[in-house]
């Protein structure tokens, strides 16, 4: 079970603070038989990590829809939950009164859990079982390692795109079709790669794009991204569907972060979420995802789910994203910018611009930036490669570059890719999947992806090194 949604896209409501009452409730013990009878929408219990919770009131408002919770009614949902969420998430998401007690595990179930844990270990490799970081010399290597190190489900979730993956693959391939024109005999002894983005100084014109459920890439998830970004002098975009509670990620974020928002059908939940994350003072901009009004068909994700479905289970459309995407508000439109502005006093960025006409509309509304993005090829397949949109803007509405901060993401893997986007007018470039893969090495992996002093300088490997263009 996932209590989450994608793009990246798994979401649990980070809503209500836990208090000391929960520790008192945990003194109660329930057997598997006790839990099994609470298996209806009007009386719904779940066991997660040897703790028992009452989801009856929460299920109807679950941002991923009630169906995914109903599938595990009266059961132990630990295996599915732990694939995408930190243990602390459910404890902080549910009010203390819904923390019922502990699960009394039978001997037979202990054996089953032991076998399950053993199988999980065989599927996923720890950082110590992966090639050493010194052997990782570029961002492609992180992806290659992840393809064999991650469990099948996690790999499908991170790597997969929509339908035939045409847009996902075109994002990268079209970057290779844009040629540089190197100028020579220029003094490049001293090069300054720093930039400013929404008041934040960056060591590179690069930021970490929002990736939901970063735990799928490695057990430190968003915590590793936050710490690594801070050390490298860049910035993380914390996703609505974070594996860890937002407050936990912000606690390890020294000064600044961006926040990605999926607008909930229940606008009050989005309002509360924005209030919670911005009160820390660390959120410097809110990126509103606009390119996923409904969740796309992601076949690699669905295949894994259907292969694991039992004989009597309904597997159709059972991929993680499709199962849990019902909370996203498909009615979101330009008139809602006024509502968003009333919620936050930081810059608003519209993420998911895929044509010049919408970039022009953004200029007419109270937003400060746009992200040219197709959701990493995970939204509408055959949408144009992100880099081509920069060319489209120059042709049809070049004034946008003077009025808005223009960002771009999708397919960037080399420093030369970043350089091309900067030359074409982007203020900075977002990278998502490469860092989702680097999390497999924890915080060290995130640092290694950027560290210009290491033997594998990652994004900096070519950025501005060849000279001026």
How many whole angstroms separate alpha carbon 215 and alpha carbon 230? 19
Query: Is there a single domain that holds both residue 174 and residue 269?
Result: yes
Segments forming the whole domain that contains residue 60: 21-123
3-state secondary structure of 182: coil
Q: How many helices (H) and strands (E) does the chain have?
A: 21, 16
End of a domain among 123, 148, 165?
Answer: 123
Query: Is there a single domain that holds both residue 73 and residue 186?
Result: no
Query: Is there a single domain that holds both residue 106 and residue 149?
Result: no
The predicted structure's pLDDT at residue 20:
47
End of a domain among 78, 97, 123?
Answer: 123
The predicted structure's pLDDT at residue 290:
96
How many domains, the chain?
A: 2
The predicted structure's pLDDT at residue 316:
47
Cite the active site residues.
Answer: 262, 291, 375
The predicted structure's pLDDT at residue 419:
94
pLDDT in tens, 269-281: 999 999 999 999 9
The predicted structure's pLDDT at residue 6:
38
Strands 237-239, 51-54: pairing is unpaired
The predicted structure's pLDDT at residue 455:
39
Cα–Cα separations (whole angstroms), residue 395 to 291, 388, 399, 400, 401: 23, 11, 10, 11, 12
Cα–Cα separations (whole angstroms), residue 211 to 32, 198, 381, 448: 35, 20, 19, 19
| CATH classification of the domain holding 42 | 3.10.120.10
How many whole angstroms separate alpha carbon 246 and alpha carbon 444? 21
Tokens standing for residue 187 = 């003094």
H/E segment holding residue 445: helix 442-450
Local mean pLDDT, 10-residue blocks, the chain (469 residues): 42 41 64 94 93 90 73 89 83 87 74 49 60 93 95 91 92 96 90 94 96 91 96 96 94 96 93 96 98 74 59 48 71 97 98 98 97 93 96 98 98 94 98 96 94 46 47
Whether 451 is covered by a domain: the verdict is yes
The predicted structure's pLDDT at residue 402:
97
The predicted structure's pLDDT at residue 113:
54
End of a domain among 61, 93, 123?
Answer: 123
Query: Is there a single domain that holds both residue 341 and residue 440?
Result: yes
Query: Is there a single domain that holds both residue 181 and residue 222?
Result: yes
pTM of the predicted model as reported, rounded to 2 decimal places: 0.84
The predicted structure's pLDDT at residue 320:
56
The predicted structure's pLDDT at residue 162:
87
């Amino acid at each position: 079970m996932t209590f989450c949604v994608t793009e990246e896209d798994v979401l649990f409501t980070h809503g209500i603070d836990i208090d000391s009452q929960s520790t008192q409730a945990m003194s109660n013990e329930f057997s598997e038989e006790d839990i099994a009878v609470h298996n209806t929408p009007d009386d719904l219990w779940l066991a997660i990590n040897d703790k028992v919770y009452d989801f009856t009131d929460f299920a109807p408002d679950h941002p991923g829809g009630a169906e995914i919770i109903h599938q595990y009614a009266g059961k132990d949902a630990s295996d599915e939950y732990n694939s995408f969420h930190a243990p602390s998430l459910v404890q902080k998401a549910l009010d203390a009164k819904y923390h019922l007690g502990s699960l009394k595990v039978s001997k037979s179930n202990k054996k089953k859990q032991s076998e399950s844990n053993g199988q999980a270990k065989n599927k996923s490799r720890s950082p110590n079982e992966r090639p050493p970081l010194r052997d990782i010399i570029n961002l492609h290597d992180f992806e290659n390692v992840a393809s064999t190190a991650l469990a099948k489900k996690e790999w499908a979730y991170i790597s997969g795109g929509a339908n035939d993956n045409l847009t996902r693959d075109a994002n990268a391939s079209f970057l290779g079709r844009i040629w540089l024109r190197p100028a020579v005999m220029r003094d490049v002894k001293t090069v300054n790669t720093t930039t400013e983005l929404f008041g934040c100084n960056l060591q590179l014109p690069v930021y970490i794009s929002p990736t939901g459920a970063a735990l799928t890439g490695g057990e430190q998830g968003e915590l590793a991204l936050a710490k690594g970004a801070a050390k490298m002098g860049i910035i993380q975009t914390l996703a609505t569907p974070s594996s860890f509670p937002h407050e936990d990620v912000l606690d390890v974020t020294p000064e600044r972060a961006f926040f990605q928002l999926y607008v909930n059908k229940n606008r009050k939940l989005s309002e509360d979420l924005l209030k919670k994350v911005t009160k820390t003072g660390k959120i410097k901009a809110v990126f509103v995802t606009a390119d996923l009004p409904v969740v796309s068909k992601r076949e690699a994700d669905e295949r894994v789910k259907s292969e694991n479905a039992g004989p009597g289970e309904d597997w159709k459309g059972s991929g993680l994203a499709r199962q849990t995407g019902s909370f996203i508000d498909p009615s979101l439109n330009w008139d809602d910018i006024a509502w968003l502005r009333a919620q936050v006093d930081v810059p608003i960025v519209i993420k998911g611009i895929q044509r010049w006409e919408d970039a022009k509309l953004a200029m007419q509304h109270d937003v400060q930036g746009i992200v040219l993005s197709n959701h990493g090829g995970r939204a509408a397949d055959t949408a144009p490669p992100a880099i081509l949109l920069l060319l489209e803007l120059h042709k049809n509405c070049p004034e946008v570059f003077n009025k808005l901060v223009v960002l771009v993401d999708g397919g960037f893997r080399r420093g030369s890719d970043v350089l091309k986007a900067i030359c074409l007018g982007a203020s900075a470039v977002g990278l998502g999947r490469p860092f989702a893969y680097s999390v497999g090495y924890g915080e060290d992996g995130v640092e290694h992806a950027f560290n210009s002093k290491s033997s594998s300088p990652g994004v900096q490997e070519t950025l501005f090194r060849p000279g001026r263009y």
